[in-house]
Structure 1
Amino acid sequence: MQNTAFINTCVLTLALAGMSLAQAAVSPEQAARLKSELMPLGGERAGNADASIPAWDGGCTQVAPGYKSGDKRPDPFAGEKPLYAIKASNMGQYASELAEGTKVLLKKYPDYRLDVYPTHRCAAAPQWVYDNTAQNAIRATLDVETEKVANAYGGIPFPIPENGAQVLWNYRLSWQGGDTINSPFDTWLMTAGGKKVQATRAQYTYQFPYYVENGSLENFSGKYLIGKLLTELPSSKAGEGLMTHWDLDPANRAAWQYLVGQRRVRRAPNIAYDTPDFVTSGVGLFDEAFMLFGPTDRYDLKLVGKKELIVAYNNNRAGLAKSDDLVKQNFLNPDLVRWEKHRVWVVEATLKPGKRHVVPRRTYYIDEDSWQILMADGYDAQGKLGRQMYSLTLMAPDLPVLTAQVMWGSYNLDTGAYFLNSSSNDLAVQYQKVAKPSASFFTPDAMANENMR
């Protein structure tokens, strides 16, 4: 089959390279595929054999009539009905198309189900992002030892990936809708006993210097993402702040935290790996934030290949719901979560010898069209599947983007507790592009001044 041949070609290419540390860009002949059998960001243009996955036709870029910037995005597929539902009783029929964590949830809860809808390949980006992606394909390189990326700007760095590290960098450097984004959010915890708790309300503003439309590789500093989080609720956390500067060279990454009790900003080198994430009251880990946060250099990353998987996708309806309707005991309300079949890249992350992490193995599932991480299964030291990370991608045709930066979280498959982060369900404003602030906005001093009470 076409998918298998393509994956085998990637594996053979890597083997012939002798597992060199510096992964070279692809040839101009390979890059030309981005204008033929591959879509401009790297996914296969064609649908699958049984047409359950359609061909990509340019993505979803039609803005709903009357939509205004900042409004909640409507569900363009509100009139559709599920094609079928998957429950514990019939999951065997779909086993090859389900992530392992999804199977555990179906087995654990008899009333859990997946409503599977027609697949819509909504991923899209502006033409200049497509153009930069084509250039990156023949110039971008990765040092797999240091995780350093070079010669990439303004598009997907490795649209024709050869290894797992490149695939994860494609997520880090994926198009998120603009160079500056504001995303007010709530974090909801559901306890094992069925109690819904608000862990955080915050404002998160982040800037992508990597995605400045009129910028260039020559003028790019190397910092691809700069973020600032300002906490509003609960009152015990109000005023706390977090700032991160992520660089194409992970050695140059930096993070700062503002602590109200100390009334000062301090460097925060532990904002990474398996440090408990204070935004989720310690339930989640920092490297689970936004599905992937910070370096992965403690892991060996293996590109397993590509497969067809039933995943949560195009969840504008879930984004419109009130949190009380969406966040239910044990799992998100199946009536509100939309599932579709898509092709995903599968990356296995296995802890390196001598390194430590409370989740020594993860399996990441990455959308071939948008490079968003849709799910990740996490295993403990005994090899038991104990957690599943998930994202309910939001489709924003006004930007245009399909993003996993909102409505993501994690299920504890042992206890039944879970959380939903980056939720704007009970807020008036949703994920939106905003004007670029002054350079001082993303400095530690500015964060201290804003948070002082």
Structure 2
Amino acid sequence: MNKNKTIAGVSLVLALGAPQAIAAVSAEEAARLGQDLTLMGAERSGNADGTIPEWTNKPLASTDVDALLQEKPLFTITAENVEQYKDRLSAGQLVMFNTYPDSYKMNVYPTHRTAVYPKAIYEKGVANATTAKLVEGGNGISDFNGITPFPIPQNGLEVVWNHITRYRGGMLEREVVQLPVARNGAFNPISVYETFLMPYQVEGYELKKDDDNIIFYYTQKIQSPPRLTGNVLLVHETLDQVRQPRQAWKYNAGQRRVRRAPQVAYDSPGSATDGQRTTDQLDMFNGAPDRYEWKLVGKQELYIPYNSFKLASGEHSYKDITRPGHLNPELTRYELHRVWKVEATLKEGARHVYAKRVFYIDEDSWQIAVADLYDGRGQLWRVQEGHQMQYLAPSVPWLAAETNHDLQSGRFLVSGLSNERSESGYNFDFVAKRNTFTPSAIRRAGKR
């Protein structure tokens, strides 16, 4: 099936029943891409005081990584001096200093805008600028080619869709661990094997009829501890989840049965996380945006986790990485970057454990870097951070780890780690087969 015809079909289906779509930007506005804006829509220039440099589109090399690892912090933010820096910290980050005054700190390093995508991905984003539109009340997108629909966003929902649809390599397998860390710092690692297939991100991939309205296919198999070994999750992630809800199945190794899992969405507990995050917190935010009102607050400069190569280093064990309440601050790296700030407020009559979420999204990658999460009483409950890192091949900005800190219980979850493996846990050369993302395939994969 021709890829362009298939995408056009998706656009037509999504447009039906949506008499008014939010317009794309004009050709004159789109002409800024590659000029004062990068091809991904970020401001090309640095900031006024030079603490954020100009974006240069220079791919990162292994020698550059070595140089980053040798750098020393410019300064350190602690509970004692945090007031000096509060304008460049989120509300959740500020509370972390108050909650752990004796142990929590941020080492701030020189800023390097290392987030770079392949040329073909930039071209897709530029093409979307004058065509992509929100439809179905913002729950779908028409006339876009599957990647970063809104390089010049007009509202908060468009910014979030850029995060949801950003390039992540097209096909990937990874073997990583999740660490649900208790208040005293103790944890039992949970090892998971995950595969991804993002059909519209794979150049030359022959789309099938069933790929219509699909963002990605995903499997997660638990490899340890023994009590969870063999449990498998399968997800077909849909673009418009109101028209066609996310499809999910679970294989339970103990029962040896595959069951539909419609609850794997929104605020249901995340798989194998000890209840420390919701399903839609994976990758900082995923899934349908329909339960929230989205407000684009604007842009600001924020200290965010970036170039987290030390955190990902095989020189450090999981015990080295964790401390009671938070990661080992000697292994984290913060830099000053421009971010989009988006507020999500729960709609009247909608249900979710988070009544409000505030997202800070990196302008160069569209990756959510920080999220502050509020409960139904309006109290700050959890703080998420995505510790970003540039993968050198195939040039993918993604995460070395993501954390979710529970300010009320003192526990936190860190996921995506592969430090104790002999090789990287991420394999972007993986060739995914469509027939492995079926209920019968996960039944076979789940046998102990």
- Tell me, yes or no, whether TM beats 0.5: yes
Q: What is residue 333 of structure 2 aligned with on the other side?
A: 338
**CA–CA distance in 2 between the matches of 1:57 and 1:180?**
27
**CA–CA distance in 1 between the matches of 2:262 and 2:20?**
26
SS of equivalent to 1:161: coil
Q: What is residue 106 of structure 1 aligned with on the other side?
A: 97
The counterpart of 1:208, out of the listed 198, 201, 219, is: 198
Q: What is residue 409 of structure 1 aligned with on the other side?
A: 403
Q: What is residue 306 of structure 1 aligned with on the other side?
A: 299
Asked if structure 1 preserves the Cα contact closer than 8 Å seen for 2:177 and 2:416, the reply is yes
1:44–1:346 Cα change, 3 Å: same
Amino acid at match of 1:97: R
Q: Deviations over 1:278-316 (max 9, x none)?
A: 320222111111111211211111111111000111101
SS of equivalent to 1:275: coil
Q: What is residue 30 of structure 1 aligned with on the other side?
A: 29
SS of equivalent to 2:157: helix
Amino acid at match of 1:278: S
SS of equivalent to 1:170: helix
Query: 1:190 offset after TM fit, Å?
Result: 1.3
Task: Say which is worse superposed, 316-325 or 361-370, in terms of deviation.
Answer: 316-325
Q: What is residue 392 of structure 2 aligned with on the other side?
A: 397
Q: What is residue 49 of structure 1 aligned with on the other side?
A: 48
1:263–1:393 Cα change, 3 Å: same
1:41–1:147 Cα change, 3 Å: same
**CA–CA distance in 1 between the matches of 2:202 and 2:177?**
28
Q: What is residue 86 of structure 1 aligned with on the other side?
A: 77
Q: Summarize the alignment of residues 37-436 of structure 1 with structure 2, pairs less than 5 Å apart.
A: 37-64=36-63, 75-110=66-101, 111-143=103-135, 145=137, 147-176=139-168, 178-198=169-189, 200-214=190-204, 221-250=212-241, 251-252=243-244, 253-320=246-313, 321-404=316-399, 406-428=400-422, 429-436=424-431
Query: 1:331 offset after TM fit, Å?
Result: 1.1
Query: 1:218 offset after TM fit, Å?
Result: 12
Query: 1:88 offset after TM fit, Å?
Result: 1.0
Q: Deviations over 1:114-172 (max 9, x none)?
A: 00000000111111111111111111111262511122125311000011111111011
Query: 1:221 offset after TM fit, Å?
Result: 3.1
Name the TM-score, length of structure 1 as normaliser. Answer: 0.90
1:76–1:280 Cα change, 3 Å: farther
Asked if structure 1 preserves the Cα contact closer than 8 Å seen for 2:219 and 2:234, the reply is yes
Q: Deviations over 1:395-439 (max 9, x none)?
A: 2122212103x4112001122210101111222332220232322
Q: What is residue 8 of structure 1 aligned with on the other side?
A: none
Alignment length, in residue pairs?
423
SS of equivalent to 2:310: helix
Amino acid at match of 2:224: L
Name the TM-score, length of structure 2 as normaliser. Answer: 0.91
**CA–CA distance in 1 between the matches of 2:48 and 2:28?**
26
Runs (5+) with no aligned partner, structure 1: 1-19, 66-73
Amino acid at match of 1:150: S
Amino acid at match of 2:237: W
Query: 1:267 offset after TM fit, Å?
Result: 1.4
Amino acid at match of 1:203: Y
